[in-house]
Structure formats: structure tokens, C-alpha cells
């Protein structure tokens, strides 16, 4: 007589997981009941399984099935949230957003605008435009500023008033208070050209004019 009392065959055969059409190795509820009946028919009559053991197996199966259902629900919720985010992000195409960046792309005859974020008031604030070799080409003097954001616009010219060629430039904020330097963050404005789904760890990526790709979460403000 075949006996199945030494081990728990339900656990060995992967019970507790919902059967899937594309995975015949996984057992569902019908397989579970059939296996339990087989276990009853083949148990050792001198060592019958206690009812508590069957109840334990049923509880384990129900718990595992519940976890699988919960995982499926979370997957559906994640998909719905992604779709909602995609719709929101698509509405940004053509809009201007504000993101943290120190690298700016100057177009022919164009300008670069943005803001400097200050965690505290400062007595002086400048935005420096640096060339490829790190040389300072232009200083924008914004004077004393309160805590918050100070707007600026660079007209694409150097300190002598000469137009600079199109290309990449570095913008650096220099803030001072009481003779000491203060923290300052450069935020640049850029137009959203398009939206990419599934970029960067499955998230939503914005393709910004002059700034390249940025995660949706990098947007500080929609202008």
C-alpha cells in the first residue's frame, strides 16, 4: 500500500499557489482537493491523519491563494497608476517645466531662463555662465534676495555684450551672506518635447528641449 503520511505531499507539489494556464506545474483548487482525496485513500489505516492536519493544509492553501490574489491586485493597481501617470505626462507635451540642472543648451539667437532656489535670505546673488574650459563668460548680478526662488534670464551674450555661439554652457549660482557663501540651486526652464513610457526603471521620462531625458519626478514646477 502506498502511504503519504511521511511528508506533506501538498507542499512538495507546490500547493498553495493558484494554477496558471501557462504553468502546468502549479496546482489549483481542484488539484488540491483531488490530492487530498488521494491522500485520504492511501493513508496508513493504523496511523490515520488527524483532522487538524487537514485543516492546517487547507489553511495554508487558502493563505497562499490569498497572497497570490493580493499580488495580482497590486499588479493591477500599479498598471492603473502607470496609465494615469502616462495620461498626466502626455498633457505636459508642449508645456514648460522647471527642473534642477546646471547644464544649459543655448540655441542660435536664443535665451536661457530659470530660477535660483535659496533656502535662506542672501545679501548677494550672482549667476555665472561658464564656457567649456570652465572660464566665466557672463555674470548676472541679482543682488540681495529673500529665501525662495529668484528668477533670471541670460540673453546669450558675454560680459562684453558679444553674442556667444550656440552650444552647451554651465550655469553656477554664487550666493553670499555675512561674508560667507550660501547654498543655492539652479533650476532651468525647458519645453517638454515628448514623453517616453517605461524609461528608467519602468517609470515615465520626459524629453526636454536642450536638457535631454528627465524622470517625471524631477519636475519642480509646471510653468
Q: Report pLDDT digits (tens) over 79-104.
A: 666 667 677 777 889 999 999 999 99
Say how far apart CA 117 and CA 113 lie, in whole Å: 13
Residue 21 pLDDT > 90: no
Q: What is the pLDDT of residue 8?
A: 46
Residue 157 pLDDT > 90: yes
CATH number of 96-190: 2.60.40.4070
Q: Per-residue pLDDT averaged across 27-38, rounded? A: 67
In this structure, of 15-29, 117-131, 197-211, the range with the lowest mean pLDDT score is 15-29
Angle, helices 29-41/51-90, rounded to nearest 10 degrees: 170
Residue 30 pLDDT > 80: no
Our CA dihedral for 212, 213, 217, 223, rounded to 10 degrees, sits at: 40
- CB atoms under 10 Å from CB of 184, counted, come to 21
pLDDT confidence band for 29 (50 / 70 / 90)? low
Q: What is the mean pLDDT of the chain?
A: 80
Q: Per-residue pLDDT averaged across 100-122, rounded? A: 95
Identify the helix (H) or strand (E) that includes residue 178.
none
User: Regarding predicted confidence, which is higher, 183 or 79?
Assistant: 183
Amino acid at each position: 500500500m502506498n502511504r503519504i503520511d511521511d511528508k506533506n505531499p501538498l507542499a512538495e507539489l507546490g500547493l498553495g499557489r493558484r494554477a496558471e494556464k501557462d504553468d502546468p506545474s502549479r496546482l489549483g483548487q481542484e488539484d488540491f482537493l483531488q490530492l487530498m482525496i488521494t491522500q485520504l485513500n492511501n493513508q496508513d489505516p493504523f496511523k490515520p491523519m488527524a483532522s487538524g492536519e487537514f485543516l492546517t493544509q487547507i489553511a495554508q492553501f487558502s493563505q497562499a491563494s490569498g497572497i497570490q490574489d493580493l499580488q495580482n491586485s497590486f499588479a493591477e493597481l500599479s498598471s492603473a497608476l502607470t496609465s494615469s501617470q502616462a495620461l498626466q505626462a502626455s498633457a505636459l507635451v508642449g508645456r514648460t517645466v522647471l527642473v534642477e540642472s546646471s547644464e544649459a543648451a543655448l540655441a542660435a539667437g536664443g535665451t536661457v531662463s530659470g530660477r535660483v532656489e535659496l533656502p535662506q535670505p542672501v545679501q548677494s546673488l550672482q549667476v555665472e555662465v561658464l564656457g567649456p574650459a570652465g572660464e566665466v563668460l557672463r555674470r548676472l548680478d541679482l543682488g540681495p534676495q529673500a529665501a525662495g526662488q529668484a528668477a533670471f534670464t541670460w540673453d546669450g551674450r558675454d560680459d562684453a555684450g558679444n553674442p556667444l555661439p550656440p552650444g552647451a554652457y554651465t550655469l553656477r549660482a554664487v550666493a553670499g551672506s555675512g561674508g560667507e557663501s550660501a547654498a543655492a540651486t539652479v533650476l532651468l526652464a525647458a519645453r517638454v518635447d515628448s514623453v517616453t513610457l517605461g524609461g528608467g526603471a519602468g517609470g515615465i521620462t520626459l524629453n526636454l528641449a536642450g536638457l535631454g531625458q528627465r524622470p517625471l519626478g524631477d519636475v519642480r514646477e509646471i510653468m
